[in-house]
Structure 1
Amino acid sequence: MYYLSTLAPLYAANHMQPMWRDRAAIQQFQQQLAGLAMSGVQPQFSQWVTSLTDPAVNDVGRDIVLSDAMLGYLQFVSAIGTHGNSWLYSNIPYKLGLPPNAVINQWQLAVRQDRLQSYVNSLVPQHPQYTKMYQALRDMLVNNRPWPQVSNGPNLYPGQLSNDIPALREILMRTDMLTHSAPVAQARGRLARNEPDDGGLSVGEENNRESLVATSARDITLAAGSTVITQSAASVTVGETVYSPDLVAGVKRFQKWQGLNTDGVIGARTREWLNVSPQTRVALLALNIQRLRILPGYISSGIMVNIPNYSLTYYQNGREVLSSHVIVGRPSRKTPLMNSGLSNVVLNPPWNVPTSLVRADIVPKAMRDGSYFQQHGYTLLSDWSKDAKVIDPAMIDWNSVSARNFPYRVRQAPGASNSLGRFKFNMPSSDAIYLHDTPNHNLFQKDMRALSSGCVRVNKADDLANMLLHDAGWSNDRVASTLQEGNTTYVNIRQRILVKLYYLTAWVSDDGQMQFRTDIYNYDHAVRSGVQILAQAEKLM
């Protein structure tokens, strides 16, 4: 027992009577416990699941295991609001501890008043996604046959030949991607599928761009030891090796299911998602179900940015009024998870280039090209104060400075080519993170948009700004004239508007389709552990 010293006085106070007499409460708690174990966030939950599925653990012993597990579960549920950003996005399991006494007392009161079932029900994530995701998880659990695998290799284009075609066809059939309209998530015993929903410019970004191949999906599948099957090349006939039009159509549906470009070309990212088994998807669902606990269940007025979905949604009066593609930080300069509130909108913003970018990108280029600052509209300032003096780059002794000790602030003037575009959306942030426009809207055509240095670029920044400015009393004519004049103008936001940057790699869209996204920051590492307990956890579902 993990909490034996705590359980002893609790059972003594209960006159050594069982605490788990309500069968419905037992069933519901075991289901919640199994779901948390499948998320992989803490190995001890898997130990409790193993004990509860052991036929030798019965009667009093089983009651004690349930109570022991309840203490661990209560600690998780009660502390997740404070620690969720670390517990649910870490490669290291969090440390188990005791829940607050007040929480233990609530549980014990429910036991004494014979309302344990309603108390257990109150512990599930209070989010509208929960019921849909939980049902999808249960449906996927039954899809436990060995999963076909496609091999690594060059891109496969329509009409080409490949020995992977039989495996590809089976994968598309088992995910219902060969039908004209994929079933919704609630279809029993089948994978839920496709149709994604809408759920600062880095200097030299194309040179520094990391590969965003879905390494996590591949590594999780291999590390978890999921049963896979491969096709023997010797058993494949020529007619079975053609990448035919019906398969191309199915692959396009499959790509849409993962948020990939629907070009029908089977490249590295598509191959790796094809190889992700239902077992891994179950664990991904389980982990993201727990992440619902740190998301608001209802949003009156707010801006929600789902980082791995590269999407922004703006709500007014509880209704979605704008959806936009976004660009987020690349893996080496992650966009942080955060809660904040919009403070102002800046029209014609200047760009004070972050020191890290100045040192890593701008100074080396300026040292090679003396006209670099002028060509890109940069001004050098003596420091970061309001009274900072303008420095002429020609007056700097470049032999005495380096990228590491460069003492000046670099500012880019407002304008059409400014890296922040025409609008900036400020919010309090210890990481100096904000939303902004961009002059390079062509980048929004990419499917993998982790390209920035941490800030969030908004494709529909002009629409978002116009909505916010209209609420602040600005007319369209006033906005247009201010942009044309080019003067930097700050407009305060009158009402409280939540800004939440969050990270969800699996969910159910409004049309009932399951969605999965590439884990661009490798935050889904816990899934490796979650897959290991699926067979046992399923017995409690």
Structure 2
Amino acid sequence: MRHGLPAGGVPLADRQGNCLHQCFIMGFRAMFLPFRLSVLLILLLFSAAGAQVHDPVQLALMDLLENRSLPSNGETDLRVGEYTVDQWLVELYAQRDMRPLWIDENGPGARASSIASTIIASFDEGLDPDAYHAETISRLWNSDDSSELALLDVLLTDGLSSYAADMAQGRTEPCLLDPQLFASARQTGDNNPLARVLEAYHADDLDQYLDSLKPSHSAYGLLRDALSEYRKIAAQGGWPAIPDGPSIRRGMQDPRLPKIRLRLTITGDYGGTDLHSPLYDAELADAVKLFQKRHNLEIDGIIGRNTLAAMNVPVEKRISQILINMERWRWQPHRLDDRRVYVNIAGFYLHAMNKEKVELAMPVIVGEVYHKTPVFSDRIRYIEFNPYWNIPDSIARNEILPELIKNPAYLEENNIRIFEGWSENAPELDGSIFNWRDIGRHINRYRFRQDPGPDNSLGRMKFVFPNRYSVFLHDTPRRDLFKHDDRAFSHGCIRVSEPLDFAGYLLAQDDDSWDTERINKILDEKKRTVVVLKNPMPIHILYRTAIVDPETGIISFFKDVYGRDELLLQALYPGGSAKICQYPPLAPR
């Protein structure tokens, strides 16, 4: 069962343009619903009339599923007693003449135990075990009543299917949460629940199969480990709140410093043994700098307002961030290329990876809140040196036009030319002949192009992965913006701080003859030059507010710059993540 917005969210009709794949699936299910129900009824009647049944659990299954409640208009689920299950599940049991899948004459066996244990352990994966019937499964586990064992078998099947789907693709639909979260980044493959259950049923090693459902990339596993550690911190009472006050600099004394030492000890930033000193010494300053680095703060060692605010975020909030970002990794394809580029929008950083090794890292600038950078995956296919900047309509209308009205010489001063249209052979026009006040909204008839040069808004190069969002990576003449901690300044494209290094890295994957000297020679020609990559580089534009460094194992938390975390948290855990129940291991029968 998939999950999208909580109650009160955006109506489905407003979201269909961004979720065409869902509309297709929903239409498909609606079209075949009458046919499916007819088939189920025929199968059930055949099963009841044409087979001698002696197994009491099989008889109980027949009674349980034949007395189910059919879905009402607009619904797709069935009611089995007080539980909701999918229609395919009834069809599966009908095809088996109502024989149980996981329960035998001795009760639940080893395979049932594997499924039940996996469902209970879904708590460790940041999921809610009760979404997979954990409470009822635990309660029925040692029952000898045939009706209860029949229900147990059904709930194991339904829970397994839902767990497998949530692990493979995430529990939520990203495009229903935010139109800038594109489903193309999700895991693809067969989403047939019947096929999933049969695959598990026929698996030679069920434990291995269940383990294979989890995302295989280390980023997910590292967050799972961090979740365990932060839950332990929460169980021990969390960390102390630090009172407000003036900034603390190295060498100063302050009565808050013992609490700060304890706070940083709990999260592993401070490894000193003196927890009571009120002196801000060098050892504590190093711990503060590590904390600042982990929270994308200015690394100055000064315990100021922003650093104190980050220290005072409660452990429960950090746990929620970890849970949210584990879900985001479940959206991601589970198999990734060894060499790949990550851009983390929330972290304002780019990492070039080779397996789990970071080969290149640099700060980036991303889209401002009103021009969000979208989340998707693609491949960098070419580099354009000394690029033209074909100015988008919205920028021409909202930014260029007001400047032209104030200063008719703006185009010439900024090396911008104007063309009669958007075709390649559109004639160039003389900008001085226009009365810009009269042009108004008709400005979109014309194409504005900024030629290569030191003031070109794209800088000296851009990195292109053709996509429907017109997003790419590029250089920038605004080097001053990289000094900021929060770097959401662009119109949606991504500005890289070290374009020469990035170009060299990409080109070296094709041909080791590429070096800085060769690239600079092209740049010095000041002529637009396109170099196509022989081996297009996979790029994943992500939104992660919690990540773990694969080399150091240190977790970092980032500001939710686009305000996406709370919406996802509500969709994942409508009752609140703190209410997720952890169940003890199954008692032996």
Task: Tell me which interval the TM-score lies in, with the shorter structure as reference length.
Answer: 0.7 to 0.9
Q: Whose RCO is larger (CA < 8 A, sep 6+)?
A: 1
Shift of residue 114 of structure 1? Answer: 6.9
Report 1:27-426 matches (<5 A).
27-32=117-122, 35-37=125-127, 47-48=131-132, 51-52=135-136, 59=143, 60=149, 61-80=151-170, 85-86=174-175, 102-111=192-201, 115-144=205-234, 145=237, 147-150=239-242, 168-179=260-271, 248-267=285-304, 269-293=306-330, 294-295=332-333, 297-315=335-353, 320-402=358-440, 405=443, 407-426=445-464
CA deviations on 1:225-255 (whole Å, 9 max, x unpaired) are xxxxxxxxxxxxxx99887766554432211
Shift of residue 33 of structure 1? Answer: 5.6
CA deviations on 1:39-94 (whole Å, 9 max, x unpaired) are xxxxxx6554673598589743555444333232233345559x8643676899x9
- For residues 421 and 112 of structure 1, do their structure 2 counterparts lie closer, same or farther at Cα, with a shift above 3 Å needed? closer
Query: What secondary structure is seen at the aligned counterpart in 1 of 2:581?
Result: helix
Q: Give the match for residue 85 of structure 2.
A: 3
Query: What secondary structure is seen at the aligned counterpart in 2 of 1:439?
Result: coil
Shift of residue 457 of structure 1? Answer: 0.9
Which runs of 5 or more structure 2 residues have no equivalent in the other structure?
Answer: 1-82, 144-148, 184-188
Shift of residue 436 of structure 1? Answer: 0.8
Q: 8 Å contact 2:420–2:428 — kept in the other structure?
A: yes
Q: Does 1:483 align with 2:523?
A: yes
Q: 8 Å contact 2:116–2:137 — kept in the other structure?
A: no
Q: 8 Å contact 1:34–1:540 — kept in the other structure?
A: no
Shift of residue 435 of structure 1? Answer: 0.9
Shift of residue 527 of structure 1? Answer: 3.0
Shift of residue 333 of structure 1? Answer: 0.9
CA deviations on 1:91-122 (whole Å, 9 max, x unpaired) are 99x9xxxx968542342353366743232212
> 1: CA distance between counterparts of 2:133 and 2:257?
39
Paired residues, what number?
A: 472
CA deviations on 1:420-443 (whole Å, 9 max, x unpaired) are 111111111111111111122232
> 2: CA distance between counterparts of 1:409 and 1:64?
63
Shift of residue 343 of structure 1? Answer: 2.3
Q: Give the match for residue 224 of structure 1.
A: none
- For residues 87 and 287 of structure 1, do their structure 2 counterparts lie closer, same or farther at Cα, with a shift above 3 Å needed? farther
- For residues 479 and 365 of structure 1, do their structure 2 counterparts lie closer, same or farther at Cα, with a shift above 3 Å needed? same
Identity of aligned residues (%): 27
CA deviations on 1:107-139 (whole Å, 9 max, x unpaired) are 235336674323221211121233332222122
Query: What secondary structure is seen at the aligned counterpart in 2 of 1:105?
Result: helix
Q: Determine which structure has more spread, i.e. the larger CA radius of gyration.
A: 2
Q: 8 Å contact 1:78–1:103 — kept in the other structure?
A: no
CA deviations on 1:198-237 (whole Å, 9 max, x unpaired) are xxxxxxxxxxxxxxxxxxxxxxxxxxxxxxxxxxxxxxxx
Q: 8 Å contact 1:353–1:411 — kept in the other structure?
A: yes
CA deviations on 1:165-219 (whole Å, 9 max, x unpaired) are 66545422322333259xxxxxxxxxxxxxxxxxxxxxxxxxxxxxxxxxxxxxx
> 2: CA distance between counterparts of 1:449 and 1:149?
28
Which amino acid is the alignment partner of residue 488 of structure 1?
Answer: R
Q: Give the match for residue 189 of structure 1.
A: none
Q: Does 1:440 align with 2:478?
A: yes
Q: Give the match for residue 21 of structure 1.
A: 109
- For residues 143 and 319 of structure 1, do their structure 2 counterparts lie closer, same or farther at Cα, with a shift above 3 Å needed? closer
Indicate which of 517, 524, 532 corresponds to 2:558: 517
Which runs of 5 or more structure 1 residues have no equivalent in the other structure?
Answer: 39-44, 182-238
- For residues 8 and 287 of structure 1, do their structure 2 counterparts lie closer, same or farther at Cα, with a shift above 3 Å needed? same
Q: 8 Å contact 1:127–1:295 — kept in the other structure?
A: no
Query: What secondary structure is seen at the aligned counterpart in 2 of 1:285?
Result: helix
Query: What secondary structure is seen at the aligned counterpart in 2 of 1:270?
Result: helix
Q: Give the match for residue 498 of structure 1.
A: 538
> 1: CA distance between counterparts of 2:201 and 2:521?
66
Query: What secondary structure is seen at the aligned counterpart in 1 of 2:323?
Result: helix
> 1: CA distance between counterparts of 2:245 and 2:207?
53
Q: 8 Å contact 1:280–1:527 — kept in the other structure?
A: no
TM-score (norm. length: structure 1): 0.75
> 2: CA distance between counterparts of 1:75 and 1:243?
51
Q: 8 Å contact 1:347–1:424 — kept in the other structure?
A: yes
> 1: CA distance between counterparts of 2:583 and 2:396?
56
Shift of residue 453 of structure 1? Answer: 1.1
